Protein backbone atom coordinates (compact mmCIF):
# COMPACT_ATOMS: atom_id res chain seq x y z
CA UNK A 1 0.00 0.00 0.00
CA UNK A 2 2.82 2.39 0.90
CA UNK A 3 4.56 1.79 -2.44
CA UNK A 4 1.34 2.52 -4.34
CA UNK A 5 0.84 5.84 -2.52
CA UNK A 6 4.47 6.77 -3.13
CA UNK A 7 4.11 6.04 -6.83
CA UNK A 8 0.85 8.00 -6.96
CA UNK A 9 2.50 10.96 -5.24
CA UNK A 10 5.45 10.77 -7.64
CA UNK A 11 3.08 10.70 -10.62
CA UNK A 12 1.22 13.72 -9.22
CA UNK A 13 4.47 15.67 -8.83
CA UNK A 14 5.52 14.75 -12.36
CA UNK A 15 2.12 15.81 -13.70
CA UNK A 16 2.50 19.18 -11.97
CA UNK A 17 5.87 19.68 -13.60
CA UNK A 18 4.42 18.82 -17.00
CA UNK A 19 1.59 21.33 -16.46
CA UNK A 20 4.15 24.03 -15.68
CA UNK A 21 6.07 23.18 -18.86
CA UNK A 22 2.90 23.32 -20.98
CA UNK A 23 1.96 26.69 -19.48
CA UNK A 24 5.46 28.00 -20.23
CA UNK A 25 5.08 26.98 -23.88
CA UNK A 26 1.75 28.80 -24.05
CA UNK A 27 3.31 31.82 -22.34
CA UNK A 28 6.08 32.04 -24.91
CA UNK A 29 3.48 32.18 -27.71
CA UNK A 30 1.24 34.76 -26.00
CA UNK A 31 1.40 38.45 -26.99
CA UNK A 32 3.73 40.43 -24.73
CA UNK A 33 1.30 42.80 -23.05
CA UNK A 34 -1.97 40.90 -23.02
CA UNK A 35 -4.51 39.66 -20.52
CA UNK A 36 -3.89 36.09 -21.66
CA UNK A 37 -0.19 36.41 -20.81
CA UNK A 38 -0.98 37.76 -17.33
CA UNK A 39 -3.43 34.89 -16.77
CA UNK A 40 -0.78 32.36 -17.83
CA UNK A 41 1.79 33.93 -15.51
CA UNK A 42 -0.63 33.68 -12.60
CA UNK A 43 -1.39 30.04 -13.45
CA UNK A 44 2.33 29.26 -13.59
CA UNK A 45 2.83 30.86 -10.17
CA UNK A 46 0.01 28.77 -8.70
CA UNK A 47 1.33 25.53 -10.21
CA UNK A 48 4.90 26.33 -9.12
CA UNK A 49 3.75 26.96 -5.54
CA UNK A 50 1.90 23.64 -5.47
CA UNK A 51 4.94 21.89 -6.96
CA UNK A 52 7.29 23.38 -4.34
CA UNK A 53 4.91 22.46 -1.51
CA UNK A 54 4.72 18.86 -2.71
CA UNK A 55 8.51 18.68 -2.87
CA UNK A 56 8.79 20.17 0.62
CA UNK A 57 6.27 17.66 1.93
CA UNK A 58 8.16 14.75 0.37
CA UNK A 59 11.46 16.02 1.75
CA UNK A 60 10.02 16.43 5.25
CA UNK A 61 8.48 12.98 5.11
CA UNK A 62 11.82 11.47 4.05
CA UNK A 63 13.67 13.37 6.77
CA UNK A 64 11.36 12.20 9.57
CA UNK A 65 10.91 8.64 8.38
CA UNK A 66 11.98 6.16 11.02
CA UNK A 67 11.93 8.61 13.91
CA UNK A 68 9.45 8.22 16.75
CA UNK A 69 6.82 10.94 17.10
CA UNK A 70 7.65 13.77 19.45
CA UNK A 71 7.23 12.93 23.10
CA UNK A 72 7.23 9.15 22.59
CA UNK A 73 9.97 7.42 24.52
CA UNK A 74 11.47 10.66 25.77
CA UNK A 75 12.03 11.11 29.47
CA UNK A 76 11.36 14.66 30.59
CA UNK A 77 13.11 15.64 33.80
CA UNK A 78 11.19 17.94 36.10
CA UNK A 79 12.98 20.95 37.38
CA UNK A 80 13.20 20.93 41.19
CA UNK A 81 11.00 23.45 42.91
CA UNK A 82 12.76 25.67 45.35
What does the pLDDT look like over 30-66, one tens digit per residue?
999 999 999 999 999 999 999 999 888 878 877 877 6
Query: DSSP strand E in 1-82: where?
Result: none
> What local confidence, expressed as pLDDT, does residue 27 receive?
96
Output the CA torsion sign for 70, 76, 81, 82: negative
Q: Is residue 76 part of a domain?
A: no
> What local confidence, expressed as pLDDT, does residue 67 receive?
61
When divided into structural domains, the chain yields a total of 1
Q: Is residue 74 part of a domain?
A: no
Task: Give, as one character, the DSSP assignment of residue 30.
Answer: S
Q: Is residue 13 part of a domain?
A: yes
Q: Rounded to two decimals, what is the model's pTM?
A: 0.64
Mean pLDDT of 64-75: 60
Q: Is residue 32 part of a domain?
A: yes
Band (14; pLDDT cuts 50, 70, 90): confident
Q: Pick 64 or 69 by higher pLDDT.
A: 64
Amino acid sequence: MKRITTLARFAEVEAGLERIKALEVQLSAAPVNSRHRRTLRAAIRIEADAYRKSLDTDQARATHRGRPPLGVGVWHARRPTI
